[in-house]
Amino acid sequence: MKPIQKDELYDNLSQFLKSKGIELKEGTYTKSVHAGCSMLADAINLSQAGLERAKNELEKRLDQVRQVIHESTAPKGPEPTVEAKTPEPKVQSPSSGTKASGRATGNSRKPKARAKGGKKRAK
C-alpha cells in the first residue's frame, strides 16, 4: 500500500463534506481537523509498515516450518536388506585378542583431549 500524504486525508474529507453541503473555512476548528487528519495519516503509515514487517517475518517462519515438515516426512533412502541390517557378531577366541604380553590388540589409544569449550573434535 502506498503511504498516505499528510494533507491527503484532509483534502478528501473537505471534498466529501463540500459534496454534502458543508464547507470548511479557515479557523480554529479547521486547524484542529487538519492536525487530526495529519496524525491519522501518520498512524496509518506506521501501522502499514509494521504489518508489512510482521508479514515478512511470518512468511520467513512459515517457510522454516514447511522445511522442517518436509525433512521429517520426506522418504528416507532405500531401505537396506534384512541381511545388511543385522551384521553377524564377530566371535573371538580368548587368545586371539591378546598379545603374548597380555595387552589387548587393536585400537587401544587413549581418547583425545577435548577442545576448549568441552566440545569433541571432529574426526
Give the count of domains, the chain: 1
User: Does 26 fall in a domain?
Assistant: yes
User: Does 68 fall in a domain?
Assistant: yes
pLDDT in tens, the chain (123 residues): 789 998 999 999 999 999 999 988 888 899 999 999 999 999 999 999 999 999 999 999 999 999 999 999 988 877 666 655 566 666 665 655 555 555 555 555 655 656 565 555 555
Domain that holds residue 55: 6-75
Q: State if pTM tops 0.75.
A: no
Cβ–Cβ < 8 Å for 106, 97: yes
3-state secondary structure of 115: coil
In sequence order, which residues have a C-beta less than 8 Å from that of residue 42 and are 6 or more positions away?
Answer: 6
Phi, psi torsion values for 98, nearest 5 degrees: -130, 155
User: Does 28 fall in a domain?
Assistant: yes
User: Does 92 fall in a domain?
Assistant: no
Three-class SS string for 86-108? CCCCCCCCCCCCECCCCCECCCC
User: Does 10 fall in a domain?
Assistant: yes
Identify any residues that bridge with 98 across adjacent strands, giving them in sequence order.
104
User: Does 20 fall in a domain?
Assistant: yes
3-state secondary structure of 48: helix
User: Does 65 fall in a domain?
Assistant: yes
User: Does 59 fall in a domain?
Assistant: yes
